[in-house]
Amino acid sequence: MTAALLAVIPAPSPHDSGVRDIATLSARFAYSTMCLTLAWGILSATGWIRRATGHEALRGGHVVLAVFSLATGSVHGLSYLFLDDGSFGVLALVIPFAGGGFARHAAGVVGLELFIAVSVTAALGRRVKGWFHQLGYLSVGLLAIHSWLGASANGNLATVWLGGITVLTPAVVLTVLRVLPPRALVRIGLLDGGAGRAERVMISVDDKKCHSYAICQAEAPQVFQLQGDGQLRYLRKPGARQLPLVQAAARACPMRAIHLRGAGQ
């Protein structure tokens, strides 16, 4: 009976084996650079790398890593269209659960499409608000789930778990720190506290650099407010309690348009 079963199960062709090898290799490159893209972007946008090293992070590196992640991720997905067994079609690569499929495939499809959308909208500048860029965290999460479930289903989990954890851990840690309230960041030393300082901070915003992403409003809503007409209103002399929030907003501004004076700035 076993021999009969083996007779009706065709062995994978050398062509399909080669295609799957390309898909696996491109997936590992995409996974690694995706995690590095997230970590680099957080370190650069928040100014933490400048605080730790005294040097500004090269924002071009974030863009290069994102482009490489998109390229290798696209190669990973498109390579399945060249399988002779016809197990994947165009619809299965662009529509989750099209013709059946697994949850891990749906997570990969949605994650990659969301990653592409975030990258495109980021390139549009002031025409798209910064909140959409925050969906990049969801995209990376879905793609990480897709990668781990795929490695487990294909029997590769034992060979990639160490490398996967190595690059995923800093991305997860930085993401958690990114969403912590500023007071918690002050306690752990990532932001300077303003308690006990008699000198107050003065805020100025360079209108030419400001692209109205509203990230500063997300960090310090009582100080920065983006109006419906796209104009940014802000308090020039915020209270001392707002200093950690203002510092977080200045570090998070992707255009470095917010300038602080006083209070040791």
Question: Among 38-47, 54-63, 163-172, 253-262, which stretch is predicted with the lowest mean pLDDT?
Answer: 54-63
The rounded distance, in Å, linking the Cα atoms of 114 and 170 is: 22
For the ranges 96-110, 144-158, 192-206, the lowest mean pLDDT is seen at 192-206
CB atoms within 10 A of CB 109: 21
Q: With 60 as the cut, is the pLDDT of residue 263 above it?
A: no
Tell me which of 173-177, 183-187, 205-209, 245-249 is least confident.
Answer: 183-187
Per residue in 85-101, pLDDT (tens digit) is 777 888 888 888 876 77
Q: 111-128: buried (b, 16+ CB within 10 Å) or exposed (e) per residue? A: bbbbbeebbebbeeeeeb
pLDDT in tens, 247-258: 888 888 878 889
What's the pLDDT score for residue 68?
94
Question: Model-level pTM?
Answer: 0.70
Confidence bin at 164 (pLDDT 50/70/90): confident
Which is more confidently placed, 18 or 179?
18
Name the average pLDDT for the chain: 80
Highest mean pLDDT among 47-56, 126-135, 165-174: 165-174
Q: What percentage of the chain has pLDDT greater than the value 70?
A: 81
- The model's confidence at residue 1, banded by pLDDT at 50, 70 and 90, is very low
What is the C-alpha separation between 212 and 112, in angstroms, rounded? 26
| Range in 3-12, 53-62, 241-250 with the lowest mean pLDDT | 3-12
> In 10 A of CB 87, how many CB atoms?
9
Indicate whether 63 pLDDT > 80.
yes
What's the token pair of residue 157? Answer: 């989990």
pLDDT for residue 196? 44
Give residue 72's pLDDT: 95
User: For residue range 66-86, what is the model confidence (pLDDT) as tens digits?
Assistant: 999 999 999 999 998 888 877
Q: Residue 118's pLDDT is what?
A: 87
Q: Which runs of consecutive H residues, i.e. helices, occur in the chain?
A: 2-8, 14-46, 48-53, 59-79, 90-94, 103-123, 136-153, 157-179, 182-188, 215-219, 243-252
